[in-house]
Structure formats: structure tokens, C-alpha cells
Amino acid sequence: MMETDNNEGEARLALDAIDFRRRQVIAEIDMPWWYWWGVGLGWVALGVITDLKVVWASAAATLAFGAIHSAIAQRVLSGRHRSTGVSVRAELVSRSVPLLVFTYLIVMAGVTVGVAVGLHADGAGHPVTIASCFVAVAVICGGPNLMAAVRRRAERVPVT
């Protein structure tokens, strides 16, 4: 009977250690902090350039922002590479992370347009810049919250 208690205790310790390590790995599911800041600051830059009403500059800035984002997004949108030290296994991270982030950014683009149109109708100066600043704060604050939801979901997925 004494041997069984020791084996059960050792098994419990081993399972607890595995659970602790799993939670450590799940905590790594995220995107680098600089991604959200880069998107937010790029959003404001696009707003400022748009308010200058120089069509070619606005088009060029939009293309440049899109090209830079697509190059970076290939690496970070999976949520598997928050830091250079750890790469989370794909099975642990939802495959919908890129779609979630993309959808979030599309919604933020709609918010930018809606807020800018409302500000313009109200006679505000630089409506796109103001709307972009509003949305940049939402991206910088909301993006990490979106990834926290992905981590909570990963914790609920059973270990296979």
C-alpha cells in the first residue's frame, strides 16, 4: 500500500510538472509587441499622409505599408513566434489566428473610415489623422487582448 501512495504521488508531481510546462508554452502564444506598435504607428502615418490630400503620396504610402506588413506578417501572424527564443508548435496554436488578426484589422479599417467621415461631416480639421490615432490606440491595446483570448482558448484544448 505504501508503494502505491508513492507511485501516485510521483505521478501527480509529474503531471503537475507537465501542466506547468504546457502553461509556459501557451504563455508564448502571442505576437511580438513591436508588431502592434508598428501597425498602430503606420496607421497614424497613413492618416497624416491622407489628410495632406496628395493622392500619389497617399497611394504610395498605402502600398508601402501593405508591402511591409505582408512581409512581416508571414512570420508573426501565426502567433507562434512572440520571441526569438521559442517557437510554439502549430498544433497548440489555433490555425485561425491569422484570420482573427486580419478580420480585426479590417474592422479597424472600417472604424477608421466611419470615424473620419463623421469627423469630416462635423467640420473637424484633419479627420483621418484623428480617426487613425483613435484606431491606433485600439490596435495597440486590442491586439494583445485578442491574443490573450487565443491563449485562453489554447488552455481549454485537451492535451493529445
Which is more confident, 126 or 17? 126
Over residues 30-55, mean pLDDT = 92
Name the E strands within the chain: none
Grid coordinates representing 54 are 496628395
What does the buried/exposed string (b/e) look like for 104-129 if buried means 16 or more CB atoms within 10 Å of the residue's CB?
Answer: bbeebeeebeebbeebeeeeeebbbb
* pLDDT, mean over the chain: 82
Which is more confident, 126 or 158? 126
Residue 92 has what pLDDT?
A: 57
For residue range 80-105, list pLDDT tens digits in order: 555 556 555 555 555 677 888 889 99
Over residues 123-150, mean pLDDT = 92
Q: Any idea where the domains of the chain sit in the sequence?
A: 2-156
Q: Helix (H, G, I), strand (E, B), or coil: what is residue 82? A: coil
